[in-house]
Amino acid sequence: MKTTVLVPELLVAGAAVGLFVAHRRGVVAGRWLASGALVATLVALGLELWLGGQIGTLFGGGWQQDRFSVFAKAAMLLGLAALIATGDWDSESLHEVLPLGFLAAFGGMVVASATNLVALWAGVELAGISGVAVAGILATGSGLRLLRVSVLATALVTIGFAYLYAVTGASTLSGLRQTLVSEQLTLPLALISLLTLSGLAVRLGLTPFAAPTFERGIGLTPVGSGILHGLVAGTAALALAKLLGALYGTSPAWSLWLGGLATLAMVVGGLRATAVTAPRTLMAWLTVQQVGWVAAGLATHDRRGAAAALFLLVPLVLAATAGPPLSGGADSEPAGVAGLGRREPARAVGLGLVLLSLAGVPPLAGFFGEFTVAAELLRAGLGWVLACGLLGWLLGAAGVVRALWLMYLEPGPEEIRGQRGSRRPAVWAPGPLVPAVLVLAYGFFANPIHDLAVQGAAALGLR
Amino acid sequence: MTGANLLAATPLWAAVVNPSPSPSATPATFGANVIGFSFLLSLLVWGPAVMAVVIALVPNPRGRYERWFLGIAFWTSASVLALTLIAYQQFQVFTTGVQFEENLPWLPSIGVSYHLGVDGIGISMLLLSALVGLCAVIASWEVRERPRSYFVLLLLAEAAVNGTIAARDFFVLLLFWSAVAVPLALLVAGWGERPRAAGAAWRLLGYWGLSSAALLAAGLLLYQAAGGSDFAIDTLTHATPTGRLQLVIAALLLVAGISRLPLVPLHGWARAVWSEAPTGVALLTAGVASRLGGYLLIRVMAAGEHDASRTLAPILSGLAVLTVGYAALAAIRSRDLRRLGAYLALIPGAVTALGVAGLSPLSLEGAVLSLFTGGLAAALVVGATAALAERAQTRSLATAAGLAGRAPKLAWLLVAACLAVLCVPFLATFPAGLMIFLGSFRTQAPAALLLALGLVADAGVVAWMLHRVLFGAPNPDAPNPGDATLPQAWFLGILVGTLLWVGLVPGGPKLFGVPLFDPGLVNVVNTSTPDLSSPYAVPSPSAPGSSQSPSPSPGTPTSPSAGP
């Protein structure tokens, strides 16, 4: 396999380093820099889709390119592109935040191509540290609290990986899988599997770990929150999918546990979505709900379920990264989006469609993914998970309807103050329309995308 | 001569129950071979959606081209109607099965495909949608507030309705079924009569969201029962779930269906929407979007869940009776002209529900026919009351009185609307209602009797209302009323004209026994109903020695004696 397949990774890592260097050299951040970053991301995405069709390994088997990696990397790059396109770079600290976004995406790309526990760990940690750093730069208090949670997750994953290596003697994922399939499941092995997966669940933001992870993210700036909720959680989901493929032999230990966590996330996410009014908080809990659907797909521990989860992962990453920048500042009150449909039509359309997609409302990307997961849950005999998921779906949709109501039907602050006559002209920025178009178009291209997701799940070695 | 024989001897009855005499008698009709492409249904579904995007993108400097939006919407709806009429013409009435079929894989690994197609039920519903869609645009002639957004949403709603009707895959059905609610709710909220429009939109979203959730759950259970192979509606309706599961599925479908149709107790949205929405939106909702509930009950519940349908039939017929009774009581207490119209518009849905609950070949055929005729009647009564309230400049029944003298056109259109709702002869609702009552008298006798009595009560309410509003003494303190405007006369006239046409020649016009340009709605509907109703047919007593036929063969005309 040619090393040109590494060009997308080089571009992403190079962009991160370039932005750091530009900051050190005192280059003034402007919209042109954000535009350049967007172009670099899109070029990386195009190259990934073009060159990523190769299948093979590099660095003596330490790096792998397969259908899973091309699918996963495309998802991360799409999320990153949506983040850059929707971010308000006049008010964001571009030099500090954007490089960390690139690093988080790079972490996800490392996970996507990882063939051993070390690379998997490195990718997850790189993304996780980027998230903590974003929080630390932008809000010290949130950063410190997130750091504690992150240390816990790191400890769980590190101990788990070390124990797995000690028990099986295999550091590669394929070796781990072969050993565990032939080995009898013991209580310590089951416990350590659960411990490792719990570490990843913290990063992913599955309930009950959503509160420390996602609620911290609400306090960040919009782009920071997008990095944490979309790119870091997306990386954790990819790592979970890869690890579950390797831990196939211990599936009796974790499938019920993961199903339970997924159920909890779907129901609690939906319940909280109906109870909250601030747009950023609503977005966070809808993300938790959709993370639950992804986890439910993985809990089926077979190829079709994992494919459905991967198919849903793309809309999740897309909406979770683009959503917070669209919903405004961390201190945004419900009234902040009131009348948004008239003030900023493009942003209102983008925010509305992203919220609807996160809630799984047809005919948007999230619905396609959740429907596919639902069909697989039924086939796998996890009807109880599906029943709870449908309940959460209804609740989440109700929460979104209220937000739409505010955006389109309630008067904005200016209108309340009686400034209807002197209303400013509507703002038509094209950036917010990028995620809107993507969540709308996803369903039209569902066939090839889902096909690629099936091939990706097959590459994980699942049956 | 018995009553049934007397009925069978009448030309109207013969036309209703007997399709055209023979296949060879079908001449080359207008529009034959015009449609030679295989994406007709996609065009009917996506055409309005594409034109909605065009309207959204057309530049409109300083609001100079705002009337263009109306023009684009009008010509789009007119083209959809023309295409549907040609498709209706070309529909093969002597074959069974799905026509104009399109099938592309969409999510093949879970068996989802972009599968469209229509049978006799589908083509009649498409015709209803196209007719009511055009009337809705004409009824929106005077919309001046944010016309771009209005017509974009109206065309999107029309596209979603057409998609629901044409869907032959459950996933596609669910997509469009859910999608209908969003533009309609936004239309009600954005252009309805304030301050109650917001509440009406919320209710619409709530009830229709519930129906979408119930449909999703039912579809997934059917998918599991069918072995998880695919989501084709034919596959799902041929699944044989166990008794209890089948009952759960049918109950979910029932909830989904009656919250759209609507029937008591899931009718809460209807009064609010039909009385507060702008006339065009009320027309579209009452005329076709709500009929999708009945369509679902027939297409999926009655066609697939035979045992559970029999079990739930008394509940469904009971709800139909309750709805008709509720409509009478609520209408007599109403002091608002538009609300009164909204209550009366509940009646056609209840009649359709009785037809579904009847579960006999005749009542099911009547139910299918009543989807079309009831949709027209509901749209007409909602539209006529809205137009009258607008021209009388008041909604209050205490103020509006003796309007017939000053608004004669509107007065007679309202009379026709009320008569249509009550299923009187010479209007299209009559043959449908007659088939339903005759078909359901054996299986659901008490409900059919009570529903007939309810209709009598409704007739009393209608007579009182018409006397008061139209023919009573004029109120000198009331604002000066005007007669129907040209657009109002047109859209109400189209609806009345269609009701009269189908009522007078349900089997299509014939010259010396040869069908002319219209194959006849009853004949078209008849191509699908034998398949649908064959599981419910009671074996007819046969002569000694002859073999028994448990069900009429597909395509065989159903006679009154073929009923239970």
How many residues would you count in chain A? 463
**B32 located within any domain:** no
Q: Indicate left, alpha or beta for A207 from its phi (over 0: left) and psi (-120 to 50: alpha).
A: beta
Distance separating the N- and C-terminal Cα atoms of chain A: 26
Longest dimension (CA), chain B: 82
Q: Nearest 5 degrees, angle CA A387-CA A391-CA A395? A: 165
Residue type, B360: S
pLDDT of residue A155: 92
> How many structural domains does chain A have?
1
pLDDT of chain A, 463 residues: tens digit per residue: 678 888 999 999 999 998 888 877 777 666 778 888 899 999 999 999 888 778 888 888 788 888 899 999 999 999 999 998 888 776 667 777 888 999 999 999 999 999 999 999 999 999 999 988 888 776 777 778 888 888 988 999 999 999 988 888 888 888 888 888 887 778 888 888 888 888 888 888 776 676 666 666 666 778 888 888 889 999 999 999 999 888 888 888 888 889 999 999 999 999 988 888 788 888 889 999 999 999 999 999 888 999 999 999 999 999 999 988 888 764 556 666 777 777 777 888 888 899 999 999 888 999 999 999 999 998 888 889 999 999 899 888 888 887 887 787 677 666 666 654 444 555 556 778 888 899 999 988 888 899 899 999 988 877 7
Of the candidates A189, A197, A180, A263, the residue with the CA atom closest to the CA atom of residue A236: A197
Find how far residue B249's CA is from the centre of its chain. Answer: 23
Q: How confident is the model at residue B560 (pLDDT cuts 50, 70, 90)?
A: very low
**B440 located within any domain:** yes
Q: Is B205 touching A (CB cutoff 8 A)?
A: yes
Strands (E), B392-512: 510-511
Q: Is A106 touching B (CB cutoff 8 A)?
A: no
For residue A301, give the DSSP letter: -
Q: How many C-beta atoms surround the C-beta of residue B456 within 10 A?
A: 12
Tokens representing residue B326 in the block:
């509720």
The alpha carbon torsion through B211, B214, B218, B219 (nearest 10 deg) reads: 60
Of the candidates B551, B160, B532, the residue with the CA atom closest to the CA atom of residue B367: B532
Residue with tokens 């790079």: A106
Interfacial A residues in 403-432 facing B (CB < 8 Å): 405, 408-409
- Alpha-carbon gap, residue B233 to B304, rounded angstroms: 9
B531: containing domain: 37-536
For residue B403, give the DSSP letter: -
Q: Is B190 touching A (CB cutoff 8 A)?
A: yes
- Alpha-carbon gap, residue A427 to A437, rounded angstroms: 18
- A311 neighbors A449 (Cβ within 8 angstroms): yes
- Alpha-carbon gap, residue B73 to B152, rounded angstroms: 8
**B482 located within any domain:** yes
Of the candidates B365, B331, B370, the residue with the CA atom closest to the CA atom of residue B350: B370
Q: Which residues of A touch B198 (CB under 8 A)?
A: 405, 409
Residue A45 to chain B, least CA–CA distance (Å): 24
Residue A8 to chain B, least CA–CA distance (Å): 29
Tokens representing residue B203 in the block:
């209710």
pLDDT of residue B551 exceeding 50: no
Q: Which residue of A has its CA nearest to B219?
A: A375
**B19 located within any domain:** no
Q: Which residue of B has its CA nearest to A396?
A: B209
Q: Do A307 and B109 touch (CB under 8 A)?
A: yes
Q: Closest partner residue to B213 among A394, A405, A409, by Cβ?
A: A394
> How many structural domains does chain B have?
1
A-B CB pairs within 8 A amount to 69
Ranges B218-232, B423-437, B502-516: which has the least confidence: B502-516
Q: Do B213 and A390 touch (CB under 8 A)?
A: yes
Q: Which residues of B touch A443 (CB under 8 A)?
A: 175
Q: Is B189 touching A (CB cutoff 8 A)?
A: yes
Distances (CA, A) of B65 to A174, A388, B148, B152: 65, 50, 10, 15
Residue type, B130: A
ipTM for this prediction = 0.80
Half-sphere exposure of B368 (CA within 13 A, CB side): 33
Q: Is B479 touching A (CB cutoff 8 A)?
A: no
Q: How confident is the model at residue B287 (pLDDT cuts 50, 70, 90)?
A: very high
- Alpha-carbon gap, residue A212 to A206, rounded angstroms: 10
Distance separating the N- and C-terminal Cα atoms of chain B: 20
Q: What is the C-alpha R_g of chain B?
A: 22
Interfacial B residues in 157-176 facing A (CB < 8 Å): 171, 174-175
Find how far residue A402's CA is from the centre of its chain. Answer: 24
Residue type, A76: M
* Tens digits of residue pLDDT in B448-496: 999 999 999 999 999 988 888 888 888 788 788 888 899 999 999 999 9
- B20 neighbors B515 (Cβ within 8 angstroms): yes
Q: Which residues of A touch B221 (CB under 8 A)?
A: 378
A393: containing domain: 3-459
pTM: 0.84
